[in-house]
Structure formats: C-alpha cells, structure tokens
Amino acid sequence: MTTVNRSAAPIRDKYYRIARTPHPSVRKFLASNYFGYSLACGPCPLLLPATTSVAIVLKLDDSDSTPRTLLDGNHAVYRAVPDATCRCNLVIWLSPLGTYRLLRKPTAEIRGELLDSSELLGSDIMRLRDRTAAASTWERRFALADEFLVRRLGDAPSPAPEVIYAWSRLAATDGRERIGRVASDVGWSHKHLITKFTQQVGLPPKTAARLIRFDRVLRRLRHRPARWDEIAIGCGYSDQPHLIREFIEFTGATPTSFATTTESVRGALVAGHDLGAGVVDSVVSAG
C-alpha cells in the first residue's frame, strides 16, 4: 500500500509506521509483517497496486469515516482511493490461502472487492477493532491481532493440497513454473487445476504468476538507484518495455514515476512488502 501525496509538502515528514512479525503459528498464513500507521495530516490519495494478498484494515482513530474495518480483496489491477481519511490504522496482510482459511469461503468471492470486514468476520473483527483502538501501545495491538488469528485459524478448513502445492511452486519460482507441469505433478487436468486454484486463491494461476513476478520487482526497489533494464531481465521479463507495460497495468504508473513516489514516502507498504526502513520507527519480533 503506497500513500501518494500530490501536495507540495512531503508526506514523509508526517508519516509514522511500526512493524512487527506475527506469532510463529500464523506466519505461514500471512503475506508480511503486521503494520501500524499514523498520519499527522489530512485526507490524501491512496494507491493500491495489484496484488495477490488480501488486506484487513482496522481503523483505530475516532474519525467519522465508516466502516471501521475494511477487507481489501486481492485484485489484478491497481485501485486508487481518492480521499483516505483514517489517520491511525493496523493492517494485516493475508496470503491468498490464509484468506481462504480465515474467511472459511473461496477467496474468489472477495476478489477485487473493498468490503466492510464485519460482513465476513462478524462481531469477532469488530471486537478486535475496538480492543486494538483502546490499547495504549502498538505492541499490545499486535498481540491482540495474534490472539485473533491464532483462534480463528486454528480449526479453519484447509485449501486442497493440490492448490497448496501449486501456490507454493509459483511462489518458490517467482511465478516462472509452468501451470501444465504443476497439473501433471498433482495428477489433475490443466482445466481442473485452473478452476480449483482460481476458486481458492482468488486469481487464475497465470495472473497469480504475473503478480508474484511483479512482487519480486517491488522487492528490488529496496535497492537504489533502480536499473530497470537489469531488473527486467533479473525478474524474468523479456525486456524493459515488457516490464513497463506490467508496471502501468499493476500500478497505473511508469517504473520511474512509481519509484519517485515511493521514494517520497520511503518505508511505505506496497502490496504487503517493505520498500525501505526510512520511516519504520520500530520493527519488533514475536519470537
């Protein structure tokens, strides 16, 4: 998630973030650390790049904006939120298969949706929001998130082993594994694998593979300056124009303009990944 500032004043001077690793028992279901955000400024545009991950956002301030909890489904195109008003929130980034377990329903049902989390998670998520808002420290807030996920995921239904295998192969190869080979490995037809994968992951295998590859590009942005030709080849693109087309499709910006925006909010969260430590005031471990 990248905060995009279009005013003259750099938002990094008003931006605070703290990260914390989740409890070991739930890490495999999450796409990243927990993140807590505080913005000492008014409403600003928000850019949500395409991602395989699913975000649960708990609004912790006393603003009038509703709903107080949001679930942002995975999506294959970027989304712009023109007026993000919440100044304090906690974000939990779920992997697609972690989402399937948490919601106890196909991830495909929330693909591309921005929903009130309580519609899917009921009073449990509202209780978590209220308790985290009342907590006096970020460490306590993250501990409450741990408790919620440990309880909710403990007896949750698991995705099909074949889908878990397919996702793990795509993730391990940065999206380069051939779907046909995965289907052969698990003993399913190509069509059946695509159907089940799309239902439980929320995106078709080919789209998920493209986003996994693009996610590697975003991770490379930790290194400055960016050499786009090297990044393109190193991340499996045919050439730099190929990378540029993917960048525009997934972020709405060219690589250079996106990197410039990200630099202005160094440390922002983009699709569940840390792009730098500039404004991370603290990163703590759950053990």
- If you average pLDDT over every residue of the chain, what do you get? 82
pLDDT at site 55? 93
Percent of the chain scoring above 90 in pLDDT: 60
Domain-wise residue ranges, the chain: 2-157+264-284, 161-254
Which pLDDT score, from 0 to 100, does residue 218 have? 85
Residue 114, classed as helix, strand or coil, is strand
pLDDT in tens, 246-281: 999 998 888 888 877 654 443 344 444 443 333 334
Query: Please, which contacts does 154-159 make with residues 24 or more away whose CB atoms are closer than 8 Å?
Result: 156/101, 156/102, 156/104, 157/100, 157/101, 157/104, 158/101, 159/97, 159/100, 159/101, 159/200
For range 160-173, the mean pLDDT: 96
Task: State the pLDDT at residue 15.
Answer: 57
pLDDT score, position 65: 65
Task: Kindly state the average pLDDT of the residues 27-40.
Answer: 86
For the ranges 44-53, 66-75, 82-91, 162-171, the lowest mean pLDDT is seen at 82-91
Tell whether the model's pLDDT for residue 120 goes beyond 70.
yes
At 35-78, the pLDDT tens digits run 998 765 556 566 778 999 999 999 988 666 668 899 999 999 98
**Other beta carbons less than 10 A from residue 66's beta carbon:** 9
- Asked if residue 186 has pLDDT above 70, the reply is yes
The CB-side HSE value for 153 (13 A sphere, CA atoms) comes to 23
Calpha distance 70→118 (Å, rounded): 8
pTM for the full predicted model: 0.84
pLDDT of residue 80: 74
For strand 88-94 and strand 54-59, is the pairing parallel, antiparallel, or unpaired? Answer: antiparallel
SS3 109: helix
With 60 as the cut, is the pLDDT of residue 106 above it?
A: yes
- Residue 224 to residue 196: CA distance in whole angstroms: 40
Q: What pLDDT, on the 0 to 100 scale, is given for residue 81? A: 67
Residue 155 has pLDDT above 80, yes or no: yes
Confidence of residue 175 (pLDDT cuts 50, 70, 90): very high
Q: Give the pLDDT of residue 173.
A: 95
pLDDT of residue 5 exceeding 60: no
Specify the residue for token string 């490995």.
Answer: 185
According to DSSP, residue 111 is labeled T
Q: What is the pLDDT of residue 276?
A: 36
* Topology, domain 161-254: Arc Repressor Mutant, subunit A (1.10.10)
Q: Is the pLDDT of residue 226 over 50?
A: yes
Name the one residue in this structure whose structure tokens are 């840390």. 274
CA dihedral 270, 272, 274, 279 (to 10 degrees): 70
Q: In the chain, what percentage of residues exceed pLDDT 70?
A: 77
Q: What is the DSSP letter of 30?
A: B
